[in-house]
Structure 1
Amino acid sequence: MNGPIGELLKTPDFLRLWLVGAFANAMRWLELLASGLFAYEVTGSAMAATAVVAARQLPQLLFGAFAGAVSEAVNRKTIVMLALIVPAVVSTVLATLATTGQLSLWHVALGNLLSGTMWATEMSTRRRMVGEVAGPHRIVPAIALDSATNAATRMVGPLLGGIVFGWLGMKGAYTFTALVQFAGAFALAGLVHPQLTRRLDLARIPAEIAEGLAYAWTKPTILLVWGITVVTNAFAFAYSGLVAPLGISAFHVSPALVGLLAAAEPIGALAGGALIAAGVVRMDRRLAFAGGAALFMVALIVMALSPSYWLAFAVLVLGGFGTAGFGNMQTTLMLTEAPPDMRSRLMGIVTVGIGTGPLGVLAAGAIATEFGPRTAVLVMATMGLLFTAALTIWLRRRSSVR
């Protein structure tokens, strides 16, 4: 393979980081779907299903900025390895409980919370390392490839989750994810990643986070990234917690087709990300970011109104082209607009924005409990679209005044 992607794949350390990230992320999405299916099967409650999913994502809100500041001091390879080993141990414990027939909903929720704490380090450690290994001249194709791969994991993970859960139950799902994550940690051990570290001063972290926020306030592009990240995760991706209730009660399909519905948006994101990585699609990065988020929200509105499962699936695939622009430019803009000594901190703050997703998931769950999952998706996506438009207009005016 020639071109920038071919060069990247011939770089051993990039290849190792890329593949480990791909497999680890697929296991995270597998567990998310399996835990939502388990919660809905046990309780029949959309709120319970969304609460369990939210537990996996909540640590990004609570610890994202902290993780970003820590990764400026601590070796990032060490952090990434812990982010593989700790969830693998958690999955092993949960698989054992499921095998012995003792697995309860609170075990799954607690496991999601513990594993999610390590997931909070993803943006500020592994994704930053991807850009560092690629080098400044290859950062755009590197992040595009990693973003497209992340979309693939969000497609493959739920598909596997639906199939494995339907076939082997929770014991099979957790055994599978534990084995893959242990293998990932073993593979990453050989990575060579030189990094200048400094003494970790925990008392200094709040001040470093404040410095990052103060810097972000002076940069409209960084504010745009953070603001639309919050809106998209809180209002648009909230639909992820309702995939099981939508598939089972609204569209009346099997667990395997629930997994396919969860994979619909990532299928489109994978196709769109591949076009960006290959250089076929070129547009203003800010437009690709904000416009992509808006396209995704429009697709969710149409999906919520769809009378047919397959129409809903097709519309979500189209919406995935929007999340390709959103997800790719989210990291690219931060790595190109922020100075090196601020990048992990600012990406940690972006992780906090991503971490608002569980709040949206819980809100969507509450609306779904009262009015049904279709109405919940419709309300949340419409609000997200309005906030996206308002934020974009405000920042454009603020930038022109400056």
Structure 2
Amino acid sequence: MRRFRLLALANAVTAFGSNLNMVALGLFAYQTTGSPLQTGAFMALRLGTGFVTGLFAGNTVSRIPYKTVIVGANLVQATAMLLLLMVPATGVALYVVAVLTGVAGTMAAVALRSAVPSIVGQENRVQANSLLVAGRSIALIAGFAASGIIIAGLDYLGVFAINIAAFCLAGLIVMFLNLGANQAPATERRWLASQATALRYIRDRPVVGGLIAIRTIIGIASATAGVAIPIYSSALDPQRPEAFMGQFWTVWAVGNIAMQIGVSRWARRTGRSVGTDVFIAAACVMSLASIVVFTGWALVLTLVAAAVTGAASGLAETAYQSRLQEAPDEQRGHLFGLSLTSENLGFAAGMLAAGTLLVALSPLVVVATVAVVAIVAAVGFRLSNRALSREPDRVEQPS
């Protein structure tokens, strides 16, 4: 686990850079173009590129060593930020950056998720996933907190320079780690063959297909809540809407981190894994808690609900990744590529749905409606799929 902790550190540094430019690039795109339409097109292009890349990422990860993919992805994102420093800020430059960051971010995510069992072994994958999720939560707090301060003090150029340093540092750390490789058979290196590999795995294990579908629906619910939070914050305090947003995301991340610490210790002590049933339960708790956040109850209760949402979200993510990582080496990259494509589709659908519905409906109604759909889908899947009762969540012990 020692070298994996370094990898988790590199991933957290990358996540810090991504969260930092998520805030800065949106504002920069609007100030550069002066057009809400072009700003929306920039964000949509970034997300859409990630969606398309997921279809090809599994094939790429199965042919190229994990380390090469992750280091390359960090360097591509650093290059994208360097482009904004060196060329005049135009809509075209922003679209190029959207494509580069969308492709690189997706490639790195698929490679990292696929590499976990190869690096730490199947028996330690829950601890490893918890470490990754906790690192990203810390990066979330740091990235969002630092963005306003850095933009105010150094302007956007300072943000982009820090982005470059973060991505280069992350790539440098990974460069000195041995992450192993995942080589697919020659017959599965074509794109269509790689997609067939993932679909065959899902066909033989319908539980996995159901989990990917539920994960996509949860993505819709999460994106809806993410869009609703700024609107709800503005309604609570029109003069300082950032106050509640800051409190929410900080408490959310603290709950997430606390859950990862607990899960990691539990897995290390018991040698057991978290899988399908845990994922379903966490998804339901997360959806219920997200409804409470928008009810307008006392601030203390709202923040408790935010902490529960973060904890359940982190547990669901760890359980989901741990279950998919049970796939054999030659199929894992293809499976995660398909999964990430589906997740991006759900996130995009949630953003579009929220943007449309929030024009006429309150944040509570919109979030509650989507959350109830997610709960019904999760519970219905669990009750209807008898295969779950025949598939214990376990970790194969090394022989």
User: What displacement does 1:243 show?
Assistant: 4.0
Matched-pair identity in % = 20
User: What displacement does 1:73 show?
Assistant: 1.0
User: What displacement does 1:87 show?
Assistant: 1.2
Distance 1:250 1:114 in 2: 37
Residue 222 (1) aligns with residue 208 (2): yes
The amino acid of 2:142's aligned partner reads: V
- Matched with 1:152 is 138
Larger mean Cα displacement after TM superposition, 292-301 or 302-311? 302-311
Residue 176 (1) aligns with residue 165 (2): no
2:101 to 111, 115, 139: 115
Q: 1:290 to 1:162 in 2, by over 3 A?
A: farther
Distance 1:263 1:45 in 2: 31
The amino acid of 2:245's aligned partner reads: V
Distance 1:371 1:241 in 2: 13
Larger mean Cα displacement after TM superposition, 258-267 or 280-289? 280-289
- Matched with 1:247 is 233
Deviation string, structure 1 residues 183-231 (Cα, Å, up to 9, x no partner) = 2222222223342646878972212212311221221431232122111
2:248 to 224, 242, 261: 261
- Matched with 1:5 is none
Distance 2:29 2:302 in 1: 23
- Matched with 1:231 is 217
Residue 270 (1) aligns with residue 260 (2): no
Contact 2:32 / 2:90 at 8 angstroms: preserved in 1?
Answer: no
Q: 1:161 to 1:224 in 2, by over 3 A?
A: farther
2:312 to 307, 312, 322: 322
Structure 2 residue runs without a partner (length 5+): 392-399
Residue 86 (1) aligns with residue 76 (2): yes
With structure 1 as the length reference, what TM-score do the two structures score?
0.82
Contact 2:80 / 2:100 at 8 angstroms: preserved in 1?
Answer: yes
Residue 142 (1) aligns with residue 128 (2): yes
Q: 1:182 to 1:131 in 2, by over 3 A?
A: same
The amino acid of 2:342's aligned partner reads: G
- Matched with 1:4 is none
- Matched with 1:379 is 369
Distance 1:362 1:370 in 2: 14
The amino acid of 1:177's aligned partner reads: N
User: What displacement does 1:255 show?
Assistant: 4.2
Distance 1:214 1:243 in 2: 39
Residue 59 (1) aligns with residue 49 (2): yes
Distance 1:309 1:44 in 2: 36
Q: 1:311 to 1:334 in 2, by over 3 A?
A: same
User: What displacement does 1:93 show?
Assistant: 2.7
User: What displacement does 1:55 show?
Assistant: 4.0
- Matched with 2:341 is 352
User: What displacement does 1:273 show?
Assistant: 0.9
Q: 1:264 to 1:110 in 2, by over 3 A?
A: farther
What's the secondary structure of 1:69's corresponding residue? helix
Q: 1:378 to 1:206 in 2, by over 3 A?
A: same
Deviation string, structure 1 residues 321-343 (Cα, Å, up to 9, x no partner) = 1112111111111112x122211
- Matched with 2:17 is 27
Distance 1:355 1:54 in 2: 11
- Matched with 2:266 is 279
RMSD: 3.4
Deviation string, structure 1 residues 102-132 (Cα, Å, up to 9, x no partner) = 466x755653343021111234212222332
The amino acid of 2:340's aligned partner reads: T
Distance 1:171 1:247 in 2: 29
Q: 1:39 to 1:361 in 2, by over 3 A?
A: farther
Contact 2:55 / 2:341 at 8 angstroms: preserved in 1?
Answer: yes
User: What displacement does 1:302 show?
Assistant: 1.4
User: What displacement does 1:38 show?
Assistant: 5.6
Residue 362 (1) aligns with residue 352 (2): yes
The amino acid of 2:22's aligned partner reads: L
Q: 1:347 to 1:231 in 2, by over 3 A?
A: same
- Matched with 1:342 is 331
What's the secondary structure of 2:252's corresponding residue? helix
What's the secondary structure of 1:279's corresponding residue? helix
